[in-house]
Amino acid sequence: MAATITKQVKASGGDVIFFTHQSTSTKTSMAFTVYMPPSSKNENENKKCPILYYLSGLTCTNMNFIEKANAIAAAAEHGIVLICPDTSPRGGDDVPDAPEDMECKWDFGKGAGFYVNATQEPWSKNYNMYDYVVTELPAVVTATMESLGLSGRVDMARSSVFGHSMGGHGALMIALKNPGKYKSVSAFAPICNPSSGKCPWGDKCFGQYLGSIEAGQEYDATVLAGTYEGPLLDVLVDQGTKDNFLATQLETSAFDEACKSNEKIQAEVRMQEGYDHSYYFISTFAAEHVAFHAQRLKSV
């Protein structure tokens, strides 16, 4: 069950480690990247390092955030283990991709798993990214850390989650669907209300993977925020005002209103003037997000 190391490089006093493993959720080989901070090497350190999962957006892989987000130094400073999975099953020719007759292909299929468990053929065999992120990946990380002799340095019981765009949708949705599992959640430019009928990405992915837009309500952060009844959840969202998807896909205000109506959610939604949807935006605020999670992970 442990993953295999494919590469390892030093960064900010710690190590970026690249892993692959055979997934039972997706029935394919999956890749994920881990940053182990310098404090994880300190045998004299009494406290284990908590985990912060990052979920990437459409077309991205397990590499984008590690390479572009400028977050490693912040993770090193706060003693946080970063874990970045891929965004979808990829495998080979057996894994279905966007249909040939689909007018736009970049936002569906490989690279666009949308963090749901597909129920419709041909997607249901492989596109089970919800189960992968919530259940399988933590189990694989646990087994891998044990195999590397690092289980005493990583605290699997203390974790938070954040993400960007489709991954922001995934992070918010997963935290809301699993009360108490994550200590905090944050997102950069998340797809907030994909089952509203006002989000073409949601229309496409829910319609194909789940059979209908309505079926996607169980994976919709705005819907889930309205019914959330778990322990108090701290949420941080950053959204650029010059994001070209803001008016047509993201529905940020709907999520903000749903959170304000629920006393179990303590959300700060920050509109960042002049920023777009890119990693220039993410890299500007990534260190603040890591610090936000570190404060909550270390207070428990």
Report the distance separating Cα 78 and Cα 257, nearest Å: 32
Give dist(CA 27, CA 227) in Å, integer: 33
Beta bridge partners of 163: 55, 187
Residue found by looking up tokens 């179990």 in the block: 264
**Where does residue 240 rank: exposed (0-12), middle (13-18), buried (19+ CB within 10 A)?**
buried
Q: Considering 220, 234, 238, 243, which one is annotated as catalytic? A: 243
Our answer to whether residue 165 is catalytic in this structure is yes
The catalytic position among 25, 165, 186, 195 is: 165
Catalytic residue among 169, 277, 289, 293: 277
The angle subtended at Cα 179 by Cα 177 and Cα 182, nearest 5°, is 100
CA 206 – CA 264 distance, rounded (Å): 27
Q: Is 243 a catalytic residue?
A: yes
Residue 9 and residue 15 in contact, taking contact as beta carbons nearer than 8 Å: yes
CA–CA separation, 84 and 161 (whole Å): 10
Pairing of strands 49-55, 4-11: unpaired
* Whether 84 contacts 33, CB under 8 Å: yes
- The one-letter amino acid code at 177 reads K
Active-site residues, by number, are: 165, 243, 277
